Structure 1
Amino acid sequence: MEAGGVAAMEVVARDLKTLGLYTARALSFDGVEYDVLEHALTPAQIEIYDAYATAFRTIHHNLEAALTATGVNDASGETNASAARASAKSRFESTKQRFFNHLLMGMKAPTIIRAIEDDLAAGNACVIQVVSTGESLLKRRLETMDAEEELVEGALTPRDYVLGYLEQAFPIHAQKLVEIDGNMVAEPLRDANGALVVSREALALRDAAMMELMTLAPIASALDQILWAFGDEAVAEVTGRSIRPLKAEDGHLFIEKRSASSNSSETQAFMDGEKDILIFSDAGGTGRSYHAAQTAKNQKRRRHYLLEPGWRADAAIQGLGRTHRSAQVSAPFFRVCTSDVHGEKRFTSTIAKRLDQLGALTKGQRETGSQGMFREEDNLESPIARAALRGYFADLAAGRAEAMSYESFTDWTALRLIDKDGVLLEELPPIQRFLNRVLALPIHMQNALFAEFMKRIADQTERARAAGTLDLGVETLRGERIEQVSTEDLWTCPKSGAVTRIIGLEVTDPVHVLSADDALSRNPDKLPMVNRASGRAALISARPMQMYDEDVVTLMRKAVRPNGSSYLEEARFGSSAWEEISKPEFARLWDAEAASLPKTTTTKLYLLTGLLLPIWKDIPTTNERIYRVTPDGATAMIGRTLSEEGAAALRSRFLVSNPQTPQEMMTVALGTTAPVDIGRGLTLTRRRVAGEMRLELGGADRGMIESLKALGCFTEIIAFQLRVFLPHGDGVDTVSILARIVGQGTPRAADQAA
């Protein structure tokens, strides 16, 4: 089950429902529409973002210097107090992550406000879903203000999260080394009066970081910007805030207190049509209805903006369920709000991963968790993404990455990838930490870094797909023609009556071949080459890349050929007959081979469909891919693919216990490595010879050999022994040959008759 991943969870959920053991209520999504509202950062916003990224690099540097100045780190950078160092850095990273999340929300607000204005003009009602409200930030700001001081927009900015960290958690107190149980540890240094000793150097570093941060332009929260743009008389707020900043007609800010009953009255005002905009947070994400109910006065179609998905998949889905409920006049239009900042994938990645799992377990298909709003590539926490990142780290450390040098990478992210001897670290930073650090890079660096990283994910995905190990969930099997060539009832559940079947399929696909010109234009990073041994052309990567596979980092080159692509290990490539050629010669060889390729290919596979859960442990584990198939002239089926050997193993396990007919004998032989008695002193055994599966006839003496060959068998000398094999494979009627052997008396008699 673990090897099957989320795909296995999908099958389990479906089969549990079939058995009547599990129920997950699901509302139809018929009529619901989806869209992605992407905000492109303006040049001014990019300048602000880059300035904050530079400020955070300064804080990173000052933090490391302060840890050394206070004695937490020694002169070489090694820590004397791992707990103190970890506390300071983890609090900073969580603060930074929260800050950039709020910064991006605030920067997206202008685009969302314009979209809401268009929706209102079109006669719709708008619902905005957020997670954070910034109330703690507002309260902290009010506590530090003088009575006569005026509240201004610039005072209500996520920047205060970082300033609060610098004031309260930045390491400025000196440490001393003490020996405890033979180990040297650091503890705070105190003066004669017992007060903590402040390091002047660390204090100066903190003040410098605060000064740089305070000179940057503030960005108000998205919640407040929307509230100020439309006014509280048009916006219903259903959040946990007890106070909120509002803007008067003259533009100055004032504080309004919210009572415990505010959320109920605001919800009612929206449902009655007194207000056409509603903003809700987690506090309003459960137990309330904002849909176009048949009983509500406000029956305008809902435009639901997912401005901030948060970290909890269940809360995100609960929020989406506020505007899509039963007994509604119209289904909502969901809009996911994002930006063109690649680092924002840090936030969509976690929610996409958890929505996959939620959809797989509750509805038997991962896509239903997010209802298609998040794509598979949005999940950057998958095993493939982790493997791609490890390979990319190796390229960065070796100086093979084009986006930036290793020195620049460590300078901006403070991530170390190699030890003091230049060897790649065994414990590399996890992908969540990598995404956090990338989020704080200037926009152009993020774009370059993510472009390379996503390319490696694409390469890793292609390799996994070619190897049959890619976990895509319920894939739709596509082909120019899909024929159902056989159907076998494998097992029937005695309780439910549900049947497990093996379906034989033949899938015919057209062969799509690129011309040499198209291949060259699509692969500018690859060189035209020819294998002098075979005379075949290929486009091969100009430089190797690190790929991580099964705990091993390997240098690989990608080879693109007319009939597909593959990967070559660098060591094999160096000793091969590949050499670079001119583009005209490459085009001639490529187009000649492309013209000789068949127009279609036909693949035979088996689909195990029906009830799978009770026999899951008996299914061969070589391939866990799940397919949805609609054969020509038949109904759609969902099941797990099997190889020919896997199908034979299941047949022998469930269909035949004491083989009597030639078909049963062959089925049992294919499903086990034990010899099967076919009578007259002969046995039939499945063997693997030179990498291919064969059926061997055992027990034949010298007098039988010629008669068996006359009946269709063949012989081969292996390890100085003459062995007899039964033909088996595509285009061979193995059962008929076996029937002649079993049914014509003794082979010797058959030979004499012949």
Structure 2
Amino acid sequence: MQNVLFEAFEQLLAARIEGAIAAGIYDKGLETIAADSMTIAERRLIYTHPVTGAQSHLLTIERRDRNAPMWLKDVQSLVRQDPRAKLMINGKSGRPAVMVPTRSIMLDDGSIQPRVSLIRPMDELRFEVRQLEETNWEEADEQAFVLAWNTEVASVPEFSTSMMHIVSGLLLPIWKLLPQDFCRVRRLQTDDGERIVGRVIAPDRLAGLCRNFGIDQTQVLTGDQAWTALVDGSSIVGLAGDMTLRRVRVMNEYRVELTGFTDGTRDWLRSIGLFSEMINWKLRFFVPTTDEGAGILSKLMQRHRLIDVARRS
């Protein structure tokens, strides 16, 4: 009975893992990135802890991978094993592919939408059946397919070079400033033996990360300059961590208010000189509009870097 239970559990676990892999959400834990070659093309300091001095860096890694195209004999074996497989050629680009059915998806209305997978020499494309009809993919005879497949395989270079970005070093204090999707930690070792552990940043999230840490700025304002822009009411100051400073009118007097703070930063904000008030049942923080204001803003900017100074409309 125990063996039967264990076998049933292993089958259920294997099914869950296969489903997660197919959906692209399977997390193996601390995975190692492997490549034929990895070198650091650029290293940028993005954060220094004010107490310990520990640093966080944004690394640009140049990686070199050996290409492994799918050979024609493997394609022919796949076609023999699956009678539903079809040989396809794109009428516009001339690229070949083997079309096989893949997992269907359920739409919001509960209907099932069948999909197909187009297996190519170096990648795989997936389409809904109705979308495929709007493309230039057409069924081809074997002779034309073999010629197109062998031609593309022969044109594949031995190695491919790509760039990847990873934030390494001290991660926990800046975790909320990093992209909140695909929060996976990876490790790698460069050609010169340096071992790196950090968060891989997707290319479409790189611009947002640079804005959070202010490293895409060509001009850096001092605390005094930012304070002057706030006090005269001409500008709004944005800080990393979705914090914003602006001049507001409260109880017939002008103040400089900080918004976007979190519950965990309340005590720290008070310790550097900000004061708080309950107004209409809401906690609000303000920077004193005295001679100490510029110094308090500078302390705030040491922990939450200046991102933007926008003119008020």
**TM-score, reference length from structure 2:** 0.60
CA contact (8 A) 2:210 2:216 kept: no
Structure 2 residues not aligned, in runs of 5+: 221-239, 241-313
The alignment partner of 1:520 has SS state of helix
1:557 aligns with 2:116: yes
The alignment partner of 1:575 has SS state of coil
2:56 is matched with which residue?
500
Compute the displacement of 1:648 (Å): 4.2
Compute the displacement of 1:381 (Å): 3.8
The alignment partner of 2:46 has SS state of strand
> Which of the numbers 514, 534, 546 marks the counterpart of 2:104?
546
2:235 is matched with which residue?
none
Aligned pair in 2 of structure 1 residues 595, 103: CA closer, same or farther (>3 Å)?
A: closer
> Which of the numbers 619, 628, 634 marks the counterpart of 2:178?
619
Q: CA RMSD in A?
A: 3.1
CA contact (8 A) 1:502 1:647 kept: no
CA contact (8 A) 1:517 1:587 kept: no
2:65 is matched with which residue?
509
Output the CA distance in 1 between the equivalents of 2:132 and 2:47: 49
The runs of at least 4 aligned residues of structure 1 exceeding 6 Å deviation read: 549-552
Deviations 1:662-686 (A, max 9, x none): xxxxxxxxx9xxxxxxxxxxxxxxx
Structure 1 residues not aligned, in runs of 5+: 1-100, 106-307, 309-343, 351-377, 386-456, 662-670, 672-754
Output the CA distance in 1 between the equivalents of 2:192 and 2:94: 44
Compute the displacement of 1:102 (Å): 3.6
Output the CA distance in 2 between the equivalents of 1:602 and 1:568: 28
CA contact (8 A) 1:472 1:625 kept: no
* Structure that is richer in strand per residue: 2
Output the CA distance in 2 between the equivalents of 1:636 and 1:583: 49
1:636 is matched with which residue?
195
Compute the displacement of 1:521 (Å): 0.8
2:4 is matched with which residue?
104
Identity score, percent: 24
1:488 aligns with 2:150: no
The alignment partner of 1:500 has SS state of strand
Compute the displacement of 1:348 (Å): 3.3
How many residues get paired?
A: 217
Output the CA distance in 1 between the equivalents of 2:152 and 2:169: 43
1:608 is matched with which residue?
167
1:646 aligns with 2:205: yes
The alignment partner of 2:199 has SS state of strand
Compute the displacement of 1:658 (Å): 7.3
CA contact (8 A) 1:484 1:632 kept: no
Pairing 1:87-486 to 2, within 5 Å after superposition: 101-102=1-2, 104=4, 344=7, 346-348=8-10, 378-381=13-16, 385=19, 460-461=22-23, 464=24, 469-486=25-42
CA contact (8 A) 1:628 1:638 kept: yes
Output the CA distance in 2 between the equivalents of 1:546 and 1:660: 51
Output the CA distance in 2 between the equivalents of 1:640 and 1:562: 30
| Structure whose CA Rg is larger | 1
The alignment partner of 2:208 has SS state of helix
Compute the displacement of 1:586 (Å): 1.5
**TM-score, reference length from structure 1:** 0.26
* Structure that is richer in helix per residue: 1
Output the CA distance in 1 between the equivalents of 2:159 and 2:216: 40
Letter in 2 for 1:565: E
Output the CA distance in 2 between the equivalents of 1:510 and 1:639: 24
Letter in 2 for 1:592: T
The alignment partner of 1:521 has SS state of helix
Output the CA distance in 2 between the equivalents of 1:501 and 1:640: 11
> Which of the numbers 637, 640, 660 marks the counterpart of 2:219?
660
Deviations 1:302-355 (A, max 9, x none): xxxxxx6xxxxxxxxxxxxxxxxxxxxxxxxxxxxxxxxxxx2x32367xxxxx
Output the CA distance in 1 between the equivalents of 2:177 and 2:69: 40
Compute the displacement of 1:600 (Å): 1.8
Output the CA distance in 1 between the equivalents of 2:129 and 2:167: 39
1:530 aligns with 2:89: yes
Aligned pair in 2 of structure 1 residues 104, 489: CA closer, same or farther (>3 Å)?
A: same
Output the CA distance in 2 between the equivalents of 1:484 and 1:554: 44
Letter in 1 for 2:10: T
